[in-house]
Amino acid sequence: MFAVFCSPTPPNGFTAQTTTGSWWLKDGHGRALLAALEEIKAGRADRLQGGRGIIQRVPFDAQSPAIVRRYQRGGLVRHFVHDLYWDRPPRPFTELCTTVIARERGVPTVEVLGAGVEWRSFGLYRGILITREAQGFLNWREWLQTKPPIKERQVVTDKVLQTINTMHESGISHADLNLTNMLVRNDCGQHEVLIIDFDRARIFPRPLSSSHRKRNLARLRRSIAKFDAEQQMFERGTTLEGQ
């Protein structure tokens, strides 16, 4: 089974702009998104703690703020090129496309608002992704650190696995399932889960094979082992099987 490649042009509902770089912006929000980027340039954005890269919150609309994430290299290569990339098509556009397709296929994730590329010399670029903030959510690791009751932890674990299964059934293979890429919210006793960070995810026309599913879950198990080496957040016997 072969992966589906995203189009080099914006998906439906997005428009390409070339103001201060190359941008794909959600229709009807272009002016607000460019204004949000100006807030960042002026130093008026809140910087958030997160994974790799600079993550900032900026005012957007009455519904919620926007989250602006700048791509940042990991591993040894970060010491040499830092935040510069050369992939084609550019990774922000691919992630935007993949996230849009995931939402269309019923995967619970954040709403992506735009992606941008700031071109540098020799064909290199710096990348930016803009999403709507998932208000009231914590990443799974943060939620576990609030020390919820054991029964509630198992309920959320089951909900996470159901959400991952929905993603796998939709034909999306996530490249980096880990505790920080799963968001959790308790809304009046009902737990909601979102999957985020579709950078380097792969799209297939049919549900994922068993081998793809196992690789995704193996990455999640490694994340749990890393963050919960003393088994304080997960009880012994907690299983990630069956999805």
User: Packing angle between helix 150-169 and helix 210-227, nearest 10 degrees?
Assistant: 150
pLDDT bin (cut points 50, 70, 90) of residue 232 is: low
- Does pLDDT of 171 surpass 80? yes
Residue written as token pair 């089951």? 158
> 191 — phi, psi (to 5°)?
-90, 130
CB 210 within 8 A of CB 135: no
- Does pLDDT of 239 surpass 60? no
- Does pLDDT of 79 surpass 50? no
Q: Please give the CATH number for the structural domain made up of 138-227.
A: 1.10.510.10
pLDDT, tens only, 173-207: 999 999 999 999 988 778 999 999 999 999 999 99
Look at 36-40, 57-61, 127-131, 173-177 and tell me which has the smallest mean pLDDT.
36-40
Percent over 90 (pLDDT), the chain: 51
Where helices occur in the chain by DSSP H, the ranges are 30-41, 78-81, 91-104, 140-145, 150-169, 210-227
Given this model, what pLDDT does residue 67 score? 92
CB 93 within 8 A of CB 24: yes
Residue written as token pair 């674990």? 157
pLDDT, tens only, 2-53: 566 677 789 999 999 887 689 999 999 988 888 888 887 777 767 776 555 6
**Domain boundaries along the sequence of the chain:** 14-132, 138-227
Return d(Cα 74, Cα 178) in angstroms, integer: 16
Percent over 70 (pLDDT), the chain: 85
The whole-chain average pLDDT of the chain stands at 85
Given this model, what pLDDT does residue 238 score? 54
pLDDT, tens only, 99-124: 999 999 999 999 999 999 988 888 88
* CATH topology (fold) of 14-132: Phosphorylase Kinase; domain 1 (3.30.200)
- Spell out the SS3 assignment of 57-126: EECCCCCCCEEEEECCCCCCCHHHHCCCECCCCCHHHHHHHHHHHHHHCCCCCCCEEEEEEEECHHHCEE
Return d(Cα 76, Cα 86) in angstroms, integer: 16
| Secondary structure (3-state) at 218 | helix
Return d(Cα 223, Cα 233) in angstroms, integer: 12
CB 58 within 8 A of CB 43: no
